A and B are shown apart, each in its own frame.
Chain A
Amino acid sequence: MRRLAFWLMLLPGCGNALAEFSGNVAAEAVTFPDDPQFDGQFDNDLSFSFQPRWDGQWNDGDDQWSVELFTRQGSKDEGRDHNDVRELLWLHVDGDNEWRVGINTMFWGVAESQHLVDVVNQIDAVENIDREEKLGQPMIHLKRYQEWGVLDFLLLPYFRERTFHDKPGRLREPLVVDTDATEYQSSAEEYHIDYALRFSNTYDDLDIGISWFQGTRRDPLLFPGIDDRGEPVLIPYYEQMKQLGVDAQLLYGDWIWRLEMIHRNADSGTANAFVYGFEYTFYGVMDSVADIGAIVEYSYDDAPEGQRGAFDRDVFIGARFAFNDAQSSEILAGFLVDTSNHGRSFRVEASRRIGTSWKLELELQTFANIDEVDQSAAFADASEGGFAADPQASFANDSYLLVDMAYYF
């Protein structure tokens, strides 16, 4: 990794036609005001990230390459200190076909509060609980444009394990996840060849996507176990799954209606989940140039308890404030209410450019009315379908304030 980074640093010197260099370096401070729920967890942390990117093209743009690396260092939580290749990609355009070979990060779906159909990339879970940071996925990807829509064919020859916090980390599971003991349903383990297909098209104000995935499930089941030092740990188990996903978005006046739904089949059970809702935008609020978008989304997941995502019967109510000023100031604030157990979380993300090259981001996340993990109950069911606690229960004491200052180049 370090050697690769060194050689890539030299590339920008090879001539501007070949490579364009960009990226950011950032410092992130985070503080947790409440006492931790589990032994050894820190109260605050400071870490640094570096995300360089190189882009180049030849054949008049019909061939392109891109490299994007990411590293976070300096955290008290060794699980958060990690390196990743987000992109290492060759793109070839041949008329209505686009080939992408290498490592890439992609996004499918339309919903704001959670991403159900977006299954190609593993989540870089130690980065943020918003699940929007992802690990680079090795792939051979053909995108084909047809009169009647766009087809994506993906062959995914290598699986990326989820990242987990180490013992001092906050926002982690009740026990440390032992990634040295990872188990797979497939005997090919991380070399199982997954594939994914997607059809998408736009019909005037309606966007539709239908996707199919078959292979290693990105969400692990966690089983209690003992590591080689005799400590109790959680052991990730990645099963095989088939998932059908549908996403749709309709623009109607100042409204945007969104829907994502999935049907998933795996040995641990069959699940149906959906998220639907709307965003309504008020333009030029109170004679200003600012816009406010009101976002409401409802999530439902019929998977057996313990296997649901964090969004099982949840309502998200949020507002997006776009100030439309020279500093691109923005605030996104939202409540997430679990209608089944009345757990509530509140989140605010605010960002603003400072000068020409700096960006300041603030993030406030609170958890309220969430019971701590009931260890005995959680582990009693564990022999069945994996570790069975409300996914948010282990975050009960982990309300936090985060400040991130980034320099972009």
Chain B
Amino acid sequence: MSPNNTNKGKSLALLLLFAMSQAAMAVDSQQKGLEIARAARAYDKGFTDFTANMVMILKNRAGDTAKRFIRIRTLEVEGDGDKSLSIFDEPADVKGTAMLTYAHGLEPDDQWLYLPALKRVKRINSRNKSGPFMGSTFAYEDLGSQEVEKYSYNYLRDEACGEWTCHVLERFPVYEHSGYSRQVVWLDSEAYRMVRTEFFDRKQSPLKTLVAGDYQQFLGHYWRPGTMYMENHQTGQSTLLEWTDYQFKTGLSERDFRSQTLKRVQ
């Protein structure tokens, strides 16, 4: 064996060791990312149900604005995604329109739309995750129930985020028809409040940034944002969501989330 070969063998071994440690670190960071996501979900468990009002302010590149008023009712479902009902009050031409969603993990959600002009409840295909919600910069997948199994994770680092310290993690959608290749999420380390999310499109280019703020605590435990601001860097459009009148444990039940009750929702 020549010294040359020995050196080669040594560097090969070193390279292998390095690769293995990298791989181990990757497994570690994936595991840690998943654990944080699980902890965030666990923190929010037990809210039972909540209702809230939402104002959406859409702004295009030219600065024109449009408003939507939507009421939200959400029911926590044991062992599955949440059930949620969105009732549209404005713009006036869609008043009375209601959308019901049964969220599931990796399976496509079940979704129904009530069209008051036709008095018709229509089952709709929910696979269109990446489509814009009501012409806003929020996609359906941004507003849906954030089940742990919808993503794979990678922990990046901890860093300061305003007055809090945040876990920063990447997550990669594993459900079909997502508009994103990955997201980078800032969650505060204390109560897992989402502070900021950066979205990258399927071509890995920066697409949108979501910033949430004005967090309020309910029932001494559950945190909900007062504002969510989503900017689309590619189109110059933005949407501001203002949440008001959060109420928890309002006594909603499965009965309030049946597709046929959409006809009488007020």
Q: Does B177 contact A (CB under 8 A)?
A: yes
Verify B177–A283 contact, CB threshold 8 A.
yes
Checking A281, A283, A408 against B130 with a beta-carbon cut-off of 8 angstroms, the contacting residue is: A283
Q: Given contacts A251-B123, A326-B60, is CB(A409)–CB(B92) below 8 Å?
A: yes
- Please, how many angstroms separate the alpha-carbon atoms of A324 and B128 in the complex? 11
Q: Does A381 contact B (CB under 8 A)?
A: no
The interface centre, meaning the residue of B58, B66, B95, B177 with most chain A CB atoms within 10 A of its CB, is B95
Verify A359–B123 contact, CB threshold 8 A.
no
Chain A, interface residues (CB within 8 Å), range:
35 or more
Interface with A: B26-34, B192-200, B211-219, B257-265, which one? B257-265
Known: A107-B119, A132-B118. 12 other contacts (CB 8 A): A20-B266, A57-B266, A64-B266, A98-B264, A145-B255, A289-B132, A324-B132, A324-B135, A326-B60, A356-B90, A357-B93, A408-B91
Checking A22, A95, A253 against B95 with a beta-carbon cut-off of 8 angstroms, the contacting residue is: A22
Tell me the residues in window 165-193 of chain A with beta carbons closer than 8 Å to chain B beta carbons: none
Q: Annotate A275-298 by CB proximity to B: 1 below 8 A, 0 otherwise.
A: 000000101100001010000000
User: Please, which residue of chain A has its CB at the minimum distance from the CB of B90?
Assistant: A356
Verify B125–A61 contact, CB threshold 8 A.
no
- Please, how many angstroms separate the alpha-carbon atoms of A324 and B58 in the complex? 13
Verify B260–A150 contact, CB threshold 8 A.
yes
Tell me the residues in window 97-152 of chain B with beta carbons closer than 8 Å to chain A beta carbons: 110, 118-121, 123, 125, 127-128, 130-132, 134-136
Verify B92–A253 contact, CB threshold 8 A.
no
A–B pairs, 27, beta carbons within 8 Å: A20-B266, A24-B92, A24-B93, A64-B266, A95-B255, A105-B119, A107-B119, A107-B121, A132-B118, A145-B260, A150-B260, A200-B260, A251-B125, A281-B125, A283-B128, A283-B130, A283-B177, A284-B131, A289-B132, A324-B132, A326-B60, A326-B66, A328-B94, A328-B135, A356-B66, A356-B67, A408-B92
B residues in contact with A93, CB < 8 Å: 264
Q: Does A406 contact B (CB under 8 A)?
A: yes
Q: Given contacts A202-B259, A283-B177, A326-B58, is CB(A408)–CB(B95) below 8 Å?
A: yes
Chain B, interface residues (CB within 8 Å), range:
35 or more
- Interface, chain A (partner B; CB < 8 A): 20, 22, 24, 55, 57, 61, 64, 91, 93, 95-96, 98, 105-107, 110, 132, 143, 145, 150, 200, 202, 207, 249, 251, 253-254, 256, 281, 283-284, 289, 291, 324-328, 353, 356-357, 359, 406, 408-409
In angstroms, how far is the closest chain A Cβ from the Cβ of B66?
A: 5
- Please, how many angstroms separate the alpha-carbon atoms of A4 and B139 in the complex? 45
Verify B264–A91 contact, CB threshold 8 A.
yes
B residues in contact with A251, CB < 8 Å: 123, 125
Top-6 shortest CB links A-B:
A408-B92, A326-B135, A107-B120, A408-B93, A359-B93, A324-B132
User: Please, which residue of chain B has its CB at the minimum distance from the CB of A322?
Assistant: B131
Q: Given contacts A106-B119, A143-B260, A256-B125, is CB(A353)–CB(B93) below 8 Å?
A: yes
- Please, how many angstroms separate the alpha-carbon atoms of A93 and B256 in the complex? 11
Q: Annotate B50-74 by CB proximity to A: 1 below 8 A, 0 otherwise.
A: 0000000010100000110000000
Verify B259–A107 contact, CB threshold 8 A.
no
Verify A107–B93 contact, CB threshold 8 A.
no
- Please, how many angstroms separate the alpha-carbon atoms of A406 and B92 in the complex? 11
In angstroms, how far is the closest chain A Cβ from the Cβ of B29?
A: 31
- Please, how many angstroms separate the alpha-carbon atoms of A150 and B118 in the complex? 21
